[in-house]
Amino acid sequence: MTRAIIFGAGPHGGVVVEVLRAQGLFEVLGFLDDNICTHGTFVGGVPVLGGIEWAVANAAEDLAAIVAIGSNDARVAAANRLRACGVQLVNAIHPSAVVMGNTELGTGNLICPGAIVVAGTRIENEVILNTGATIDHDSVVHTGAQVASGVHTAGRVTIGRGAFIGVGAVLGPNVSIGDGCIVGAGSIVLSDLPANVIATGKPAKVVVQLTEPVDWRRLLAGGHGGLPSQ
């Protein structure tokens, strides 16, 4: 089996280690994290080995890695740091997920239990497809996007770089979601949405123009606590 490390020793890391175990292709050596308070602790029985310097010191050992960070921007940045150290980024795909033939997968992606990726679809790098999310045919999910649990898209949908699609949202055919766009939980998207906005509703409409960074920690904890107000 390929030896692998996971960057990010938070709750999301606990999900990733279980997906890798179920996948059966990797021996998980441990976690890396920039937070020195986590060093020497364990996540899911797996030790936190250190920070990025551990990857630098061990890059010649044919290591594989995946980043387990919920923040889209931070996940992409960490993956780029690992690549710069010579570490290979791999995909964590749960055995219960369905990734059809004639799909294109980049690297550093997490595809959770029950997710479905239909033929003709392209998933770039550092994408999260959460539990039960479905991406229909001939769609594109760009680098750093995150698709929450229970999201369903129709065919030929484009999800922009760093976009976030909230729990249970539905994306109609041929719609395009702009880079950095946040679609609220349960929304129904029937027309294109621009970059760097928050859109909610049935049908979804733009409610906030994002002019400052999103507090991903609070956003992923639930609700709109991490989002700027109107």
For residue range 7-64, what is the model confidence (pLDDT) as tens digits? 999 999 999 999 999 999 999 999 999 999 999 999 999 999 999 999 988 876 788 9
Q: Is the pLDDT of residue 73 over 90?
A: yes
- SS3 state of residue 140: strand
Q: What pLDDT score was predicted for residue 225?
A: 38
Tokens of 141: 């999910």
The pTM is what?
0.92
Of 128, 118, 120, 215, the closest CA to residue 163 belongs to 128
Locate CATH 2.160.10.10 in the chain: 93-221
Distance CA 182, CA 201 (A): 12
Mean of the per-residue pLDDT values of the chain:
93
According to CATH, where is 3.40.50.20 located in the chain? 2-90
Q: Would you please indicate which residues are annotated as catalytic (active-site) residues?
A: 137
Quickly name the fold that domain 93-221 has.
UDP N-Acetylglucosamine Acyltransferase; domain 1 (2.160.10)
| pLDDT for the residue 81 | 94
* The architecture CATH gives domain 2-90: 3-Layer(aba) Sandwich (3.40)
The 10s digit of each residue's pLDDT in 132-141 is 999 999 999 9
- Amino acid identity, residue 107? T
